Structure 1
């Protein structure tokens, strides 16, 4: 009876595309952390479909700071149900993420340290991938290549990075000119 409910419920879940941790890190860095926000949305979307609830993933992403602990908790609970052996504290991950994001207020170029905020998503990212891969109720597709949207993000992010690095180089060269005089 329970298996029938799971299969009926899970029919409404879109295929789950899973990328490697290295791709997640690369996409997060190249997009200045914006890919992490996309992952946040996709995780909420997954739980909306999985639990057949009326939550609004977009709103939970926009107001993510208020829902991050809850998402991390849902992920670890789901992963533990799939015999995930590792653990993490949703509260500590949230605090770490919040503190890292606050580093963006440092003067340039030190504010770029805040891009590392995606690092606090790594444990939940691994746990969610594990759970999806070990739950037979979902169609899981391992994405070994970048899709068109990801390539677009890489191109735009690369241009953005080049502009940022060029502006830093210009600022530093101007500072050196002032020092020389």
Structure 2
């Protein structure tokens, strides 16, 4: 400690430096699919956030991972391209088309969100209500392929470092199960008019 009482205290910057094990977010296929499907896609927000956070820390870049996750349709091409670039630098083989996957993801997401908005204007179940659910598997497939590429880029193809479910994962799964229950109940009420509505 300095004897100069007017000198500002020195911060221990080394202890504040964030460290990540991988350049991108690593998660196993089964865990990814379970969290995406059961949470009805809400996991996607965290998924994008973690990829951008890892990349920011690893490359010491100035960016806001949260904003890139929220506005993922504007940054999907960039993220998928960075994962592909990492694969190519180390000559790692993975059969995929990052540009095409990003485009399919962006278009599917935009159409799905527009369908949800239009569906809110009607109290009856229509084809528009089913468009969002129909596009959901396509979005999952796109992100699943990207995740497999990211795992290979991070030298962990089986994602053994993140294959087990944590307590936080189980909380998300429980919340997702409740959400699915509400969706199924809503569809049931929409297709089968309850007895109390006839009186």
Give the match for residue 165 of structure 2. Answer: 146
5 Å matches for 1:21-40?
A: 21-40=29-48
Q: CA deviation at 1:14?
A: 2.3
* Structure with bigger gyration radius: 2
Give the match for residue 108 of structure 1. Answer: 129
Runs of 5+ in structure 1 lacking a partner?
1-10, 135-139, 176-181
Q: Is the Cα contact below 8 Å between 2:35 and 2:43 reproduced in 1?
A: yes
TM-score by length of 1: 0.78
Runs of at least 4 residues off by over 3 Å? 15-18
Change in 2 beyond 3 A, CA 1:99/1:152 = same
Give the match for residue 73 of structure 1. Answer: 81
Deviations for 1:55-90, whole angstroms, at most 9, x for unmatched residues? 111121122211110100001111222332124333
Deviations for 1:132-174, whole angstroms, at most 9, x for unmatched residues? 126xxxxx86133211111111000000001110111121112
Give the match for residue 180 of structure 2. Answer: 161
Q: CA deviation at 1:12?
A: 4.6
TM-score by length of 2: 0.72
Give the match for residue 171 of structure 1. Answer: 190
How many residues are treated as equivalent by the alignment? 163
Structure 1 CA distance for aligned equivalents of residues 131 and 171 of structure 2: 27
1:54 corresponds to 2:75: no
Q: CA deviation at 1:24?
A: 0.5
Structure 2 CA distance for aligned equivalents of residues 142 and 166 of structure 1: 37
Higher helix share: 1
Change in 2 beyond 3 A, CA 1:22/1:38 = same
Structure 2 CA distance for aligned equivalents of residues 14 and 141 of structure 1: 16
Deviations for 1:1-40, whole angstroms, at most 9, x for unmatched residues? xxxxxxxxxx853245733111101111111112122111
RMSD over aligned CA atoms reads 2.6
5 Å matches for 1:130-141?
A: 130-133=152-155
Give the match for residue 179 of structure 1. Answer: none
1:121 corresponds to 2:143: yes
Runs of 5+ in structure 2 lacking a partner?
1-16, 116-126, 195-199
